[in-house]
A and B are shown apart, each in its own frame.
Chain A
């Protein structure tokens, strides 16, 4: 089992819909969870991050953690074509100081 897993997609949603991206992780002791967006040919860009003590909302983005099932999700409300990108989930496994990244989910928002 991979330490951090994501469905590679592609996930296709219509403009204005809610896009739901999920990520599962193997280490029950993980405490920090990050979502990055990566446009084609660009570097990963931080969207938001949460700790094990709670969810977070920032504008159209919400990150939620389900500790019991060991997955973290990113919800994008009112999806726009400009949200089309690869979304990378990263987890601080065992607080070693390094992040383990999932393979990424390709999101396509069509007009």
Chain B
């Protein structure tokens, strides 16, 4: 079975540019999560969706970040404009249990570098 699919795997862009990260959750999973991981801050939850609806976006750093889930099989995380401090690995994860009692399955991540 296909796991969580993220694209691109690597992204290098200049400060000020728009960045769009993409995620396809595991088929049948109804909850999707976007995380950011850095050495300093560890793994941070940015936002999560249940049945395509944003439930908690309290982890989104600021208005430059936005996320959408137009359907059950696709989500995007957008940064506009990007800044060097946004450099991190961004993970998408999904699960079928909206209550959080089942494991989340992670994609391979997008390594983002903002120059």
Contact = CB atoms under 8 A, between A and B. Distances in A.
B106 A103 contact: no
Interface residues of B, number: 22
A43 interface: yes
A97 B42 contact: no
Interface in B37-51: 42-43, 45, 48, 50
Query: For chain B, what secondary structure do more than half of its interface residues adopt (helix, strand, loop), or is it mixed?
Result: strand
Contact of B100 (A45, A88, A99, A102): A99
B91 A31 contact: no
B71 interface: no
Interface of B: 31, 33, 42-43, 45, 48, 50, 55-56, 91, 98-109
12 contacts: A34-B104, A43-B108, A43-B109, A92-B100, A97-B48, A97-B50, A97-B55, A97-B98, A98-B33, A99-B45, A99-B100, A101-B45
